Amino acid sequence: MIHPLAPELRPASARDLAWLIASLVLVIAPHALRAPWWLTLLTLCLYGWRMYFVLNRAPLPSRWLVLGVAAVAMLGVWIEFRTLFGRQAGILLLMLFSGLKLLETRTHRDAAIAAFLGYFLVITNFLYTQTIPTAAAMGVALFLLTATLVGFSAPQRPARANLRTAALLLAHAAPAALALFVLFPRVQGPLWGLPQDAYAGMTGLSDTMTPGSIAGLAQSDAIAFRAEFQGESPPSAQRYWRGPVLWDFVGRTWSIGPTYLVDFVAPQGGRATYRYEVVLEPHNRHWLFALETAASLPERARMSFDGQLVANSPVRARLRYELASVIAPQPALNESAGALRRALRLPGGGFNPRAGALAAQWRAASADDAEVLGRAIAFLRQGRYVYTLEPPLLGRDSVDEFLFDTREGFCEHFASAFVFLMRAAGIPARVVTGYQGGELNPVDSIITVRQSDAHAWAEVFLAGRGWVRVDPTAAAVPGRVESGLARSVPQAAALPLLMRPQLEWLRGVRDRWEAVAHKWNVWVLGYNPERQRDLMASIGMRDADWRTLTATLFAFLGAMTLVLLAWSLKRLARPDPVQKAWRAFCRKLASRGIERAPSEGPRDYAARAAHALPVARQSILRIGALYITLRYGADATAAGVARLRQLVREFRPA
Amino acid sequence: MITRLLERHPRFSNWLYGFTPPERGTVELVHRRVYIVPARLGWFFGGTLLVLLIGSINYALSLGFALTFLLAGLGLAGMVHTARNLARIAVTAGRAEPVFAGESAQFRLFLDGRAAFDRPAVLARHLGSGSQLVVDIPPRGVAEVVLAVPAQSRGRLALGRVMLETRFPLGLFRAWSYIEPDARCVVYPRPERSPLPPFSGEAAAGALHTPTPGSDDFAGLRGYQRSDSPRHIAWKAVARSDEMLTKQFAGDAAAELWLDARLLPAGLVLEQRLSRLAGWVLAAERAGAHYGLRLPGVEIPPARGEMHRAACLQALALYQVQ
């Protein structure tokens, strides 16, 4: 157990490297699934290569060879991604460097730096996902890396003891970490521009709509947002979550077109008011979703002229906002002439002639707009249309083909056809996209809205009634709105797994899990500057600025360190029980005037005391003899120690 | 820079490190004597934390914050644990066997952990010579460190200042403490080979010039005395009986040899004379002679054996030494 060199200067042994490599493998495992196969393989080969060197006691490869491997690998990454600095490419390079770093790791100090690189790789996993399972896996990796580091400082210690030390260290780190997490003054990022691909892969509604686009989105089980209502939540049929409004139609595609922001005016009247909180998943767009019709404005958001809530910056992190909505308020009866003209515009070029003719026929036969509307709804209701997630492909005249030939479609087909018909009949109309319904979790009463709840409906402008919502899908397929997507499409359709009705028990498990995941999202992942302010206010620190927070933080950390120091001292100061009992015995005798001289050994002292106190002679001599056996003898047993303590406790010098 | 400053001004460093050297008996590393600063790895770790923090802010990564702060807490806990690994160790200096000048004195230090937990990787370094060892102190146990300190010149060699250092458990911090236990080692003069002086006439008028051949002349066995050379123990006889026996030789007590400083050629300086005398002592003992030592003011009557040899050499080592 004796070594002339300090641990950090000793060459890393096979055991230490095996620990390091095992923890690194765990850290890069999630990346390996995303990386090109050759890069994963190369990194693992570099790890294996390093193990080979240590097991065969071979000298490490020359620096030039390592640099050559690095250059080739970087070229490969460049060919794959056409950049070295994007998020994905950068992370994969980092993963590769962990292998290259190992190849120039000689001493424990080098190895420790490789372990720090491992800590760094842990955080890169969070760029992709921050779910509870990821956190748990990375927690394990963190523990192993820490145990590895402990091993570097104590190479001759059994691994088990090092694991125990690592666990103790992490347990001691936890209170400080919690304090830092809660109190560290949070700044809203980003501090500077992020790589181009930083927000790739976020799903959600788009600013355009073509036949099949929402059907594609609806096959995703991903969560769009969660809403928690104060008190009762509205019934499913009233849960229209308003998203982007599409005005402009060019043949096949609907798009938002030019838009502008207006001052918010709260709507008047209405049947019921709901107050709720939304936790919106990032979708890299400005839109916020609100139950129709929004009666308040969230922070840092405004309203567009067509009633769409718009955040000041794209939603790139999970966003929490509070909102109020009213059901069926008094409508705004006025609309600008420009907007109405825009809501009548149809593409030139003779698109959809049959639908145009039908609309003209309705117009001719009807007295007013309301009657045209009635005829259109009746037409859809009686048309035996099929609601399907896999609609047939449509050609140039998409509305005609859907209405008269294929008769199978998803909500965007119905909305698109209906708005076309209305405009062709001279009634201003627009498409509204958003989400409809959402699932009420019985565990925590939170409504979860998924991408599979994506929906499109229509709004028509009627004189004297303003903009009126019409859901052509609901007219044609009433079940869609009443009971959700799952019950309204035929069984064979490709529904997301968990939406299939047979799997009720699985849904129960999922409900419970999602209730936990929601708390995680709100309290851990959603802990941002606002949350911090709210929390501080709720514990009585109003308007806590960064100075207050920092002062509190440092006070806490200082106290924490003192507690730890006290702990370490206590462990040290804990006296030997034998000594403690003996000192108690000496005190008892001292109270009778028989004090032990500093140079007096236990045998002499006991003899003197026995002589001075003949009454207690027996027990004094027994305690003295037992103490000598336990303190200086070879076999101090726990029973003996207990016996000594008992004897001393029962000892009465009087 | 600070290190150099402290080296140049020992009084300042004495005040700073709080010791009044050398200390007798057991030296306990109380908390006040344990110093701690971040090690080089610690600065690296701090840098890593900073990058992690900036990354977390930039990408608004909640779990990134959690990781960064957990690692920061780890650093804090590591600091306390590192200090604890050294605190309250009790150091006792053991006996150092005498050595000849030019050899290394082996100073023994016993590090008593005095704790229920183990204290791995405690480094003990002798500041004067740089000699060092790393030991693990077991729970409730004692670890022994032997520091080899070169003995340059005869006399008493004081151990001097020893640093105890540890970076356990994370290597991020370096805790250290200086101690100077009152440990000394007797350093004999460097022996110089030269022919032995003639035997004095008091016992053997026949005047043997060369190392006594008498020691080859086996005369019988007698009881072992502590001063007997291990070379003269009758190991075979010891194996047969349980008694320790020493072989006696006919030449014993025959020749009496005075190693007298006055017999040395004139013109030698004191140290050279002492070296010669040390060489004579060794040769005489090897030859099995009965020899005495005579220096101005010092006289050791003739005798033989390990203890006598040691007494003679010590007298030479400490001659005119305060």
Identify which of B52, B57, B167 has the shortest CB distance to residue A120: B52
Which of B187, B222, B238 is a domain's end point? B187
- Are A177 and B64 inside 8 Å of each other by CB? no
Q: Are B133 and B147 in contact (CB under 8 A)?
A: yes
Which residues from chain A sit within 8 angstroms of residue B64, using beta carbons?
123, 126
CB-CB neighbours of A609 under 10 Å: 25
pLDDT at A409: 84
Q: Do B72 and A560 touch (CB under 8 A)?
A: no
Judged by CB atoms closer than 8 Å, whether chains meet at B55 and A113 is answered as no
Longest distance between any two alpha carbons in chain B, whole Å? 103
Of A201, A209, A202, A203, nearest to A433 by C-alpha is A209
Which of A8, A149, A180 is facing B72, going by the closest CB pair? A180
Contact assignment for B58 to A191 by CB distance below 8 Å: yes
- Average pLDDT score over residue span A189-198: 61
Q: How far is A447 from chain B (nearest CA, A)?
A: 24
For residue B302, report the phi and psi dihedrals to the nearest 5 degrees. -65, 140
Q: Could you tell me the residue ranges of all domains in chain A?
A: 7-174, 208-499, 577-650
Q: pLDDT tier at A90 (50, 70, 90 boundaries)?
A: confident
Angle at A502 between CA A501 and CA A505, to 5 degrees: 100
Asked if residue B115 and residue B232 are part of one domain, the reply reads no
Chain B residues with CB under 8 Å of A569 CB are 31, 87
Q: Do A119 and B56 touch (CB under 8 A)?
A: no
Task: State how far residue B166 is from chain A, nearest Cα, in angstroms.
Answer: 9
A405 is catalytic: no
Given an 8 Å threshold on Cβ–Cβ distance, is B167 in contact with A161?
no
Q: Is residue B205 part of a domain?
A: no
Query: Within a 13 Å sphere around the CA of A1, how many CA atoms are in the beta-carbon half?
Result: 16
Q: Tell me if B170 and A169 make a contact (CB, 8 A cut-off).
A: yes
* Pick among A142, A156, A180, A186 to test the B interface (most B CBs inside 10 A): A180
Report the gap between the CA of A195 and the closest CA in chain B (Å). Answer: 11
Q: Is residue B247 helix, strand or coil? A: strand
Residue by residue, DSSP assigns A177-188 as HHHHHHHSPP--
Give the strands of the sheet with B142-150, arranged side by side: B27-28, B90-93, B104-112, B142-150
User: Which range among A190-199, A235-244, A511-520 has the greatest average pLDDT?
Assistant: A235-244
The per-residue pLDDT of chain A, averaged, comes to 85
- For chains A and B, CB pairs below 8 A equal 203
| A221 belongs to the catalytic site | no
pTM equals 0.70
Closest in A2, A317, A564 to B133, CB measured: A2
- Residue B33, domain member (yes or no): yes
Please indicate whether, in this complex, the C-beta atoms of A571 and B60 are within 8 angstroms of each other.
no
Chain B residues with CB-CB distance to A150 below 8 A: 168-170
Among the listed residues A411, A413, A453, A586, the single catalytic one is A411
Whether residue B158 is found in the same domain as residue B287: no
| More reliable by pLDDT, B300 or A539 | B300
Model pLDDT for residues A398-429, shown as the tens digit of each residue: 888 888 888 888 888 899 999 999 999 999 99
Please report whether residue B50 resides in a domain: yes
- Residues in chain B, pLDDT under 50: 202-214, 252-253
Catalytic residue among A413, A455, A518, A586: A455
Q: Report CA Rg, chain B.
A: 29
Pick from A3, A180, A573: which is nearest to B73 by CB?
Answer: A180
Mean pLDDT across A230-257 = 87
Nearest-Cα residue of chain B relative to residue A319: B60
- Is residue B201 domain-resident? no
pLDDT value at residue A48: 93
Contact B204, B284 (CB under 8 A): no
Residue B134 to residue A4, Cβ atoms within 8 A: yes
Number of independent structural domains in chain B: 2
Cβ burial, residue A400 (10 Å; 0-12/13-18/19+): buried
Q: Torsion angle, CA of B232/B234/B239/B242, rounded to 10 degrees?
A: -90
Q: Is the alpha carbon torsion for A498, A504, A505, A510 positive or negative?
A: positive
Beta strands in chain B (DSSP E): 27-28, 35-38, 90-93, 99-100, 104-112, 119-126, 132-137, 142-150, 155-158, 162-166, 173-179, 184-188, 218-223, 245-249, 256-260, 290-295, 298-303
Q: Identify whether the C-beta of residue B133 lies closer than 8 Å to the C-beta of residue A3.
A: yes
Are A561 and B65 within 8 A, CB to CB? no
Q: What is the predicted pLDDT for the residue at B207?
A: 38
> What is the arithmetic mean of pLDDT over A11-39?
90
Supply φ then ψ for residue A511, to 5 degrees. -55, -45
Chain B residues touching residue A120 (CB < 8 angstroms): 48, 51-52
Same domain, B123 and B33: yes
Q: Which of A113, A157, A161 sits opposite B44 (nearest CB)?
A: A113
**What DSSP element (H or E) covers B13?**
helix B10-17
> What are φ and ψ of residue A198, in 5° steps?
-60, -30
Which one, of A306, A295, A289, lies nearest residue A270 by Cα?
A295
Partner-chain residue, chosen from A122, A153, A572, that has the shortest CB–CB distance to B87: A572
Q: Which of A274, A326, A112, A146 shows the shortest CA–CA distance to B43?
A: A112
Nearest CA in chain A to B30: A569
pLDDT mean over A288-309:
88
Judged by CB atoms closer than 8 Å, whether chains meet at B116 and A146 is answered as: no
Query: Which residue did the predictor score with more confidence, A354 or B204?
Result: A354
CB A318 within 8 A of CB A521: yes
How high is the pLDDT of residue A192? Answer: 66
Partner-chain contact A569 B87, CB within 8 Å: yes
Chain B hits for A531, Cβ within 8 Å: none
- Is residue B183 located within the same domain as residue B230? no
Amino acid type, B215? S
For residue B218, being part of any structural domain is answered with yes
B40: distance to nearest CA of chain A, Å?
9
Clarify whether residues B35 and B139 are in a common domain: yes
**C-alpha triplet A313, A319, A321: angle, nearest 5°:** 100
Whether residue B45 contacts residue B172, with contact meaning beta carbons closer than 8 Å, is answered with: yes
Q: Which domain holds residue B144?
A: 2-187
8 Å CB contact of A574 and B71: no
Question: Is B148 within the bounds of a domain?
Answer: yes
By Cβ distance, the residue of B57, B71, B115 closest to A191 is: B57
To the query of whether residue A471 is one of the catalytic residues in this protein, the response is: yes
Is A2 in contact with B76 (Cβ distance < 8 A)? no
Whether B290 is in a domain gets the answer: yes
Interchain contact, B77 vs A152, CB within 8 Å:
no
Give yes or no for a contact between A613 and A620, defined as CB atoms under 8 angstroms apart: yes
Please report residues of B whose CB lies closer than 8 A to that of A524: 62-63, 66
pLDDT, tens only, A473-513: 888 877 665 555 555 555 444 555 555 566 677 777 877 88
Query: ipTM of this model?
Result: 0.78
Cα–Cα distance measured from residue B170 to residue A169, given in angstroms and rounded to the nearest whole number: 9
> Whose CA is closest to A139, among B63, B256, B123?
B63
Which of B29, B32, B36, B59 is the best substitution to test chain A (most A C-beta atoms within 10 A)?
A: B59
Residues in chain A: 654
- Record: contact A170-B70, CB cut-off 8 A: yes
- Are B38 and B170 within one domain? yes
- Out of A6, A135, A198, the one facing B134 most closely (by C-beta) is A6
- Pick from B43, B49, B76, B111 the residue to mutate for testing the A interface (most A CBs within 10 Å): B76
Same domain for B156 and B239?
no
CB contact under 8 Å between A126 and B80, yes or no, is no
Helix residue spans in A127-245 (DSSP H): 132-153, 159-183, 213-217
Q: Is the pLDDT of residue A609 over 60?
A: yes
Residue (of A469, A472, A488) closest to A480 by Cα position: A488
Dihedral angle sign, alpha carbons of residues A132, A134, A140, A144: negative
Longest pairwise C-alpha distance within chain A: 131
Picking from A4, A169, A173, the nearest residue to B133 by CB comes out as A4
Name the residue with higher pLDDT: A365 or A492.
A365
Distance from CA of B121 to the nearest CA of A (A): 6
Write down the catalytic residue from A108, A453, A471, A518.
Answer: A471
Q: Which residue of A has its CA nearest to B46?
A: A116
Chain A residues in contact with B71 by the CB 8 A cut-off are: 119, 173
Angstroms from A325 CA to nearest CA on chain B: 30
Measuring CA to CA, which residue among A225, A190, A466 is closest to residue A339? Answer: A466
The alpha-carbon gap from A46 to the nearest alpha carbon of chain B, in Å, equals: 23
- Mutate: best of A16, A20, A113, A119, partner B, most B CBs <10 A: A119
Tokens for A24, please give them.
């690194």
Task: State how beta strands B256-260 and B290-295 pair.
Answer: parallel
Six token digits for residue A360: 């003209």
Contact A233, A241 (CB under 8 A): no
Burial B243-268 (b: 16+ CB within 10 A, else e): eebbbbbebbebbbbbbbbeebeeee
Is the pLDDT assigned to residue A459 strictly greater than 70?
Answer: yes
Please give the torsion angle defined by the CA atoms of residues B209, B215, B216 and B219, in that order, rounded to the nearest 10 degrees. 130
The pLDDT, as a whole number, for residue A196 is 54
DSSP β-ladder status, A386-387 and A408-409: parallel
Residue A491: predicted pLDDT:
47
Q: Do residues B106 and B156 share a domain?
A: yes
